[in-house]
Amino acid sequence: MPKSVMCGNELTVYLSGDIDHHSARKIREATDALIQQNQPSVLKLNFGGVNFMDSSGIGLIMGRYRMMLLYGGSVKVVNVPENLRRIMELSGLSGLNVFERSGEFCESVK
């Protein structure tokens, strides 16, 4: 289960390690449960701790993007390492305007 923090109307999910087909499923299920439980208007996916990502990571972002649109919210992808940013940009994510450089404002992380 990824660490997360709810701050105001923003839910930040802290991703770490490798994101592949196996781990993406667990992250997706946990994140979807957090979205349904907290009903944020903004979901921030923090990639600061991610070392590797394959196409499953792109699917993870796209699925949460669609889910948040259904809830009337948005997704922001933050703290992306440069090697992963190139993969994300090549996949077309930059056209969705999801990238954000972000500082942390909340102190408690679950």
pLDDT at 31: 98
Helix (H) or strand (E) holding 11: strand 10-19
The span from the CA of 57 to the CA of 9, in Å, is 24
Residue 26 dihedral angles phi and psi, to the nearest 5°: -65, -40
Domains and CATH numbers, the chain: 3-100 (3.30.750.24)
Q: In the 8-state DSSP scheme, what is residue 26?
A: H
pLDDT value of position 101: 76
pLDDT given for residue 103 in this prediction: 57
Work out whether strand 3-7 and strand 10-19 pair parallel, antiparallel, or are unpaired.
antiparallel
Q: Which pLDDT score, from 0 to 100, does residue 94 have?
A: 86
- For 47-101, the pLDDT digits (tens) are 999 999 999 999 999 999 999 999 999 999 999 999 999 999 999 998 888 998 7
Give this prediction's pTM.
0.91
pLDDT for 3 beyond 60: yes
Q: What is the pLDDT of residues 23-60, one digit of tens each?
A: 999 999 999 999 999 999 999 999 999 999 999 999 99
H-state helical runs in the chain: 21-38, 55-70, 82-90
Identify which has the larger pLDDT, 105 or 24.
24
Q: How far is CA 48 from CA 39, 40, 73, 78, 102, in A?
A: 23, 21, 22, 7, 11
